[in-house]
Amino acid sequence: MNKKPIIVIVEDEPIELLLLAKTLQHNTEYVVHQAINMRDAYVLCERVKPDIIISDFNMPGGTGFDLCVKVKQHPVLRNAIFILLTGVEDVQNKIKGLNIGADEYLTKPYHSDELLSRVNAFLRIKALQDNVEADKAQLAKLNTELEGSFRGVIALLSNLIELRVPNASARSKRAKDITEWVCKKLSIAEDRIEDFLYAALLHEIGKISMPDSLVRKNPNELKTEEQAELIHFPVCGQLLIQEIPVLKSVAYIIRHQMENYDGTGYPDRLMQEEIPLGARIQRIINGVETILQKPSTTLRHVVDELMNKKGILYDPHITMLVVDFLQTNDQEFSAEKKRQISVLELQPGMKIARDLYTGTGVKLLTENTVLNENTIKKITAHHQLDPILTGVYIFAESK
């Protein structure tokens, strides 16, 4: 240790205090402080920040237990080694002392050599604990710096994409928003969501290695041979970032973002659950982007095209969640004062504000249907077998 170990001894009997201090001061490597009651001891500990506290059990103003509890609750002192001394061998008190945080429990009379041996052993433990705490603090600092650097890398890569690929920034933001929405609906763990979001932000990175004549043209206007060349952008994207260790999982998602649910996609013809979840989400987002670049496209066109390819190009479950995102965030939808309720809240007289689908995409009702008791019973029955994941949207003015 760089500094001399600091030891605080707390004892209300003057002779006992003198003997204990003399035993410890025999080792000139220790700095020993003394207190005769709990209040003085606590103030002293806050001032000198000891490595070890040796406290008698019975003291004026509080017991050694009381002091131990206060010390272990203190944000700075809690790492100090706490040794309780008592003149009575009491198993129940010993158990209680250890349970409240005491590190050792010694019975008087003690042998001076034994006491010094225990103190030296605990000082070695304390030194190891301090090293671990220092390492943790340094690791936290490095993690913060690394996180900042990593975000800088993501921002740099995003800027590179935007410089080469028109409107990539807007598509990346939409991809991130949709991905975040779907992940929350699926209750995906936070540590997995991060990779999905980075994949959404960087999903077009493979296009920066391709000619301007391809990446600057509307996908719906590409010739057959141009489409055949552009389709390689997922693999190109994987190759560009897979050597960055923290982006390996992201690179894997990017590689498979054009795999079709039925196994007809690119590059490995994976199907259904073989396709990484992040890639299945991104596949639908890519479909949305392509549809939106068609002239005079409306939300209805996007939804219809997604539903038509559900189970073929797109994961049915995720398709329904993406459709829910698009409709929920549509300005026209919000302006028409529609609201979302659960199946259990349905009442006769309510008017459906959006086509109603089950989780697997079975269409139950069309927009503007007015509910009655029989309709509600059918919806409830379907919901038990094939849950309606997105809730039911009704016009706000209906009952």
d(CA 125, CA 373): 72
Q: What does pTM read for this prediction?
A: 0.56
User: What is the pLDDT at residue 333?
Assistant: 45
> Amino acid identity of 163?
L
Measure CA of the first residue to CA of the last residue in the chain; give whole Å: 74
Query: For residue 50, with 0-12 CB atoms within 10 Å meaning exposed, 13-18 middle and 19 or more buried, which class applies?
Result: buried
Contact 180, 322 (CB under 8 A): no
- Given a contact cutoff of 8 angstroms between Cβ atoms, the answer to whether 178 and 281 are in contact is yes
- In this structure, what are the phi and psi dihedrals at residue 43, rounded to the nearest 5 degrees? -60, -45
pLDDT score of 193: 92
As a whole number of angstroms, the distance between CA 4 and CA 51 comes to 10
Q: For residues 335 and 338, what is the distance between their CA atoms, to the nearest angstrom?
A: 8
DSSP helix/strand/coil, 106 = strand
- On the question of pLDDT at 334 being above 60, the answer is no
**Contact predicate 68/100, CB 8 Å:** yes
In angstroms, the CA 9 to CA 83 distance is 9
Least confident among 12-26, 132-146, 148-162, 262-276 = 132-146
Assign residue 272 a region (left: φ > 0; alpha: ψ between -120 and 50; beta: otherwise): left
Task: Check pLDDT > 60 for residue 62.
Answer: yes
146 against 133, higher pLDDT: 133
| 2, pLDDT greater than 60 | no
Closest CA to 54 of 78, 94, 87, 21: 21
Mean pLDDT score of the chain: 85
- 356 near 365, Cβ under 8 Å? yes
- The pLDDT of residue 260: 96
Q: Look at residue 153 and tell me whether its pLDDT is greater than 90.
A: no
Three-point CA angle 76, 81, 85, nearest 5°: 130
Share of the chain above pLDDT 90, in %: 31
pLDDT above 90: residue 354: no
pLDDT band with cut points at 50, 70 and 90 for residue 43: very high
H or E stretch covering 307: helix 299-308
Nearest to 342 by CA among 392, 384, 395: 392
pLDDT (tens digit per residue) in 240-257 = 888 888 889 999 999 999
- Report helix angle 168-185 to 112-164, nearest 10: 130
